[in-house]
Amino acid sequence: MLYKVLSTSPTFGYYAPEPVEYLKSHGCTIELTPQTKKLSEEDIIEKVKDLDAIIVGIEKITEKIIAAAQKVKIISKHGAGVDNIDMKAASSKGIVVTSAPGANSDAVADLTIALFLAVARKIPFADRFIREGTWPRVVGVQLSGKVLGIIGLGQIGKKVARRASGFDMKILAYDVIKDEEFARKSGITYTSMGEIFSQCDYISLHIPLTPSTQRLIGEKELGMMKKDTILVNISRGNIVDEEALYRALKEGKIRGAALDVFAQEPATKANPLLALDNFIATPHMGGYTHEALRETGMICVRDIVSMLEGNQPKYVVNPEVLK
């Protein structure tokens, strides 16, 4: 029997062929969305009617799309966060939603440290100045000996901590679920978010977007930070109030910031943050390495095939549907 699968992700199948080959070898046909095309809600509604499974990137899978999905048994997120999928609608219709937790954690942790270094040493601006024919004296700050605050000490946060320890950084962390053994072995001190805001030279965010984390970092929180603080958000855009961040950077209330995620994606030139020299932007590329995309894709397709063949997927986000 042939199963029909659609990928709305702009990266699935383009940088790692193994997941596509796996689907084909298990009786699936796969339609890849062209990388130059962004599917609208209407586009997806038209396509889902005959599908058995959907692989999703950051596109919104709305209640209307799910209502039109007459045969879909599983929606697989090509990544970890499922905030772009209407979970209530999917669960109500008995559609299993899966994700790929931790598959890109090394890639995201690498980029976190890279962004800290890029802001601290002003690397993009030094490169730009040289390309413009100047040879300025660019003075930055070090990571070694500084205090790093990690908000969200899950899989990614822990890998950021391991990398930061190589820079001889002191590490503070906040998480609602504490891994005391890891913290003890790694020399990490759990503390409050308030202490992280006021004590840390570097702060990184590794938490999901939920109603409680919406605009978690706003005017008040930025005002608590030291003037030398560098903030990196590589989680979800709406966790940081971008207007408040712009004011804090422009007024020199913190040293710098880098965002890999934005409230509106893709970010446009109209975003005032992009005009600031103490700000660095990257295009939601935290999980985009060949290795991470291969692993993320394989997790997606293994769960899809398991579901379509009558077995239980491994990484189910709404397990109540299986009951």
Residues designated catalytic = 236, 265, 284
Count of other CB atoms within 10 angstroms of residue 94: 11
What's the half-sphere exposure (Cβ side, CA atoms, 13 Å) at 79? 26
For 257, the enclosing helix (H) or strand (E) is strand 256-259
39-44, Cβ contacts within 8 angstroms, sequence gap of 24 or more: 39/8, 41/65, 44/6, 44/8
Say if residues 176 and 122 touch (Cβ distance below 8 Å).
no
Taking CA 249 as the corner, what is the angle to CA 246 and CA 250, rounded to the nearest 5 degrees?
Answer: 80
Alpha-carbon torsion angle 122, 125, 126, 130, nearest 10: 180
